[in-house]
Structure 1
Amino acid sequence: MKGPLHAFDYRFLPLPGQMDALVEALHALGAEMIGRPGLIGVQILVDREHDACYFVEKWTSPEARAEAGAVLPGELGAAMALSREKPRATELICYDIA
């Protein structure tokens, strides 16, 4: 079994009628984060049934995320402006199988 990765999941709830714009803003945010030291990848999950978007970051360690997150990309503000409330964050331990 591979060692664990550290994932951070942010749930965004779009303003009414803004789901597609929020997904675009999250894509821009993810693109801005690519190349940060310790970042393994970013996924955007869309739950149209429950009107939510999940922005999931995978990192080599919580420390790598903390260092990279010291300067937040401006694209985060665009995503926040399209959300009904501040995104809920969850820290997860992730085991990749394949």
Structure 2
Amino acid sequence: YRSHFADGGFAPFAGLAELSLEAEVQRLDAAIATLRAEQLPRLELAADFAQLFLLDGKTSALPYASAYAGTDSASPLFGAAEARMRDFLAA
């Protein structure tokens, strides 16, 4: 699996093009190609993950639902984006 992915023979996102996401798939493939060119790709991914998810709640997106859950259904956890995703998945 690992060598097949590294050789570019594995295209896990190819099916997304059928959902009109071809431009996004191309951007993702380009980002993966850029990552492959890094000397220490795992370190780069770890740094990116830490920056995106592990800083304080004001500068990053904490990966814990409890950080966003409110007492009512209008809390950020169950906001407009979540409703759009539910509608999309139901269609």
| TM-score scaled by length of structure 2 | 0.29
Higher helix share: 2
Higher strand share: 1
Q: Which structure ranks higher in relative contact order (CA pairs < 8 Å, sequence separation ≥ 6)? A: 1
Tell me which structure has the larger Cα radius of gyration: 2
